[in-house]
Amino acid sequence: MSQRILIWDIPTRIFHWLLAVSFAGAFLTAESERYRDIHVMLGYTLLGLIAFRLVWGFAGSRYARFRSFLFKPGEIAAYAASLLKAKPAHYLGHNPAGSVAVFALLALGLLTGLAGVIVFRDIGGDVLEELHEMAAYAMLAVVALHVAGVVLSSVMHRENLVRSMITGLKLGLPNAGIRRAHAWLGVIMLASVVAFWLGYPATGPTPQNMNVTQAEHPHTTKACS
């Protein structure tokens, strides 16, 4: 008999919502020099979160482990076919189509963030600047597909996946659930991110970096008149 069981541990849920906030915030603050500090701060947060997730993909609870949603191409194709027949197979963790988006989001987040750091430290040049921007837009496209997939799956399976990513719960057989939520680790994660945000040094735009040359290369703070 199905009942509500715990699928997503707390660190995975906190990771997810902080990742979404960091990505959205970094994207919205990307264009303007005025918000560059916030942009960089959120970009570093996103990198830290992904670093955590890479470890948690091996050390985390059952459905957080990469092994549990690493599907073979045949399984992904079979799932896609079941979607087309409007009879998608049900998964308690990530489904095969969703898992492709999850790995793509982690990879693109890592690429965008690392390219951003290189640009910020002035060791990359124009190519890295382009790469940073292109990776960010590619990630935006995958986020759109990801959200559309979540909505579609929720409708097809008549289960609210967004609520599950908040509460951690899904309907399933009792012995399929995870036993521990790892709440302590979630608290440490949240506290670390908040402490990082509160302690982040704000340099802000200076008269020097608002001049014409700097407007073309707004990540540098050197004065050149």
Residues interacting with ligand HEM, by CB under 6 A? 12, 15-16, 19-20, 23-24, 26-27, 30-31, 39-40, 43-44, 46-47, 53, 64, 94-95, 98, 102, 105-106, 109, 112-113, 116-117, 119-120, 129, 132-133, 136, 143, 146-147, 150, 161-162, 165, 217-219
Q: Which two tokens stand for residue 188?
A: 């440490």
CA 1, distance to chain mean position in Å, is: 34
Instruction: Supply the minimum distance, in Å, between the C-beta of residue 225 and ligand HEM.
Output: 19
Q: How far is the CB of 30 from ligand HEM (least distance, A)?
A: 3
Strands 169-172 and 3-6: antiparallel
Min. distance of Cβ 125 from ligand HEM in angstroms?
10
Question: Tokens at residue 192, please?
Answer: 């670390």
Minimum distance from residue 202 beta carbon to ligand HEM (Å):
14
Choose between 132 and 182: whose C-beta lies nearer to ligand HEM.
132
Taking CB atoms, the residue at the shortest distance from ligand HEM is 43
Of 143, 82, 202, nearest in space to 91 by CA: 82
Q: State how far the Cα of 197 lies from the Cα of 191, in Å rounded to an integer.
A: 10
Beta carbon nearer to ligand HEM, 87 or 163: 163
CA distances for 197 relative to 42, 110, 149, 190, 194, angstroms:
8, 20, 31, 11, 5
Of 76 and 106, the one with the shorter C-beta distance to ligand HEM is 106
| 127 burial type by CB count under 10 A (0-12 exposed, 13-18 middle, 19+ buried) | exposed
Minimum distance from residue 196 beta carbon to ligand HEM (Å):
13
Q: Tell me the closest approach of the beta carbon of residue 136 to ligand HEM, in angstroms.
A: 4
Instruction: Please state, in angstroms and rounded to a whole number, the distance separating the CA atoms of residues 220 and 184.
Output: 40
d(C-alpha 59, C-alpha 9), whole Å: 12
10 vs 26, beta carbon nearer ligand HEM = 26
**Quick check: 154 and 162 in contact, CB under 8 A?**
yes
How far apart are CB 104 and ligand HEM at their closest, in Å? 9
Using the minimum distance from each CB to ligand HEM, give the nearer residue, 113 or 177.
Answer: 113
Q: Which is nearer to ligand HEM, 17 or 184 (CB)?
A: 17
With CA atoms as reference, report the closest residue to 39 among 206, 197, 213, 209. Answer: 197
Q: CB nearer to ligand HEM: give 10 or 46.
A: 46
Question: How many of the other CB atoms lie within 10 Å of CB of 170?
Answer: 24
